[in-house]
Structure 1
Amino acid sequence: MIMLQQLVSNTPVWVWALLVFLITRGIAAMKPGEISLTKLAIVPALFTAWGLWSISHRFGSSWQAWGEWLVGIGAGMGLGWVLLRRATLTLNASTGKLWRSADYSLLPLLLITFAVKYGFESALAVSPALGADDSFRAAYLLLSGGFTGIFIGKYGRYLRASHLATPRGKLEAAG
């Protein structure tokens, strides 16, 4: 219990602010509505930036670390793409925003992703030697990249759907 208290109290405030932000994004996604492509890009951009920082901070220019992370991103992108295979979107030509149906997968994905990344980062902070353990490192990089890739894949699906706009302003189910 003491270790958990120390872990939580030593976590930077920005991490808790990020968690609150992710929860609000996940809850908002559960309601259908209009949203801009820019707002849809925030979550993938946050996780990409967090991943870039983590890898460069922990592993420097290790081609193996970057390669494992990119493999994870590639796999995650495929999963993210599939998660929105039935999404139908409508483009509001006057605002340029997309109307999207509710996305019930986002909040659980955000919470799981946060927990996994937080867990790995905490383990590395407590025991930096784990960064040299090949199995731990591969799990960390593949999972971190995989979750980031899911959000990139979902965003890619939104982008593709927006480019398939029909003259009436309807967007096809990105399939």
Structure 2
Amino acid sequence: MNMLQQFASHTPIWVWALLIFLLTRGIAAMKPGETSLAKLAIVPALFTVWGLWSISQRYGASWVAWGEWLVGIVAGMGIGWMLLRRATLTLNPATGKLWRSADFTLLPLLLITFAVKYGFESALAVSPSLSANVTFSAGYLLLSGGFTGIFIGKYCRYLRASRRATEGRLGAAS
């Protein structure tokens, strides 16, 4: 059995289910349409929880590890915010849902993020001592945080658009 087959056969079923879910989210985002803020929060929440779990399992209370992950998140948030700078985002007052233009960045980002996280997690599963390697850990934590931050930054842009629309409606009603 080659190495790729070994990894695939030892990967938990939930990981494949997650990949399928991420693919469906990415494909759906390529069509403009209305969606709720709750639905838009799923991906950033998912990657945040996955990151929190992974770091707490591998690094415990290491301030360095948590700090590197948070630095990645902050940097990623800026990138995520910028990715939607030209998107059309409006709130439909009748439904309370956000109308967004097609997002062609989500699918590639989801696939790259999944591949990077899968690669790092696989390497750590095969060789747990890698978590003690400063260079490997910094790369893992900064990238993991960075990708999580991109999704958080995009969500913050959606949240801002929704709040601005709500504030505009409330101001017009006064």
Deviations 1:3-51 (A, max 9, x none): 2111111100000000000000000000000000000000000000000
Counterpart CA distance in 2 for 1:140 and 1:133 is 10
**Residue 94 of structure 1, CA deviation:** 1.6
Name the stretch that deviates more: 26-35 or 1-10.
Answer: 1-10
Counterpart CA distance in 1 for 2:128 and 2:62 is 16
Greater than 2 Å deviation, 4+ residue runs? none
SS at match of 2:169: coil
Pairwise mapping of residues 24-173 of structure 1 onto structure 2 (< 5 A)? 24-165=24-165, 166-167=168-169
**Residue 93 of structure 1, CA deviation:** 1.1
Q: Which amino acid aligns with 1:41?
A: A
User: Which consecutive residues of structure 2, in runs of 5 or more, have no partner in the other structure?
Assistant: none
**Residue 99 of structure 1, CA deviation:** 0.8
> If each structure's helix is expressed as a fraction of its own residues, which one has the higher value?
2
Identity of aligned residues (%): 80
* Structure 1 residue aligned with 2:2: 2
* Structure 2 residue aligned with 1:19: 19
Instruction: Give the RMSD, CA atoms, in angstroms.
Output: 1.1
Q: With structure 2 as the length reference, what TM-score do the two structures score?
A: 0.94
Deviations 1:61-94 (A, max 9, x none): 1010000000000000000000001122121112
Counterpart CA distance in 2 for 1:140 and 1:151 is 17
Q: Which amino acid aligns with 1:122?
A: S
Q: With structure 1 as the length reference, what TM-score do the two structures score?
A: 0.94
**Residue 167 of structure 1, CA deviation:** 3.0
How many corresponding residue pairs?
A: 168
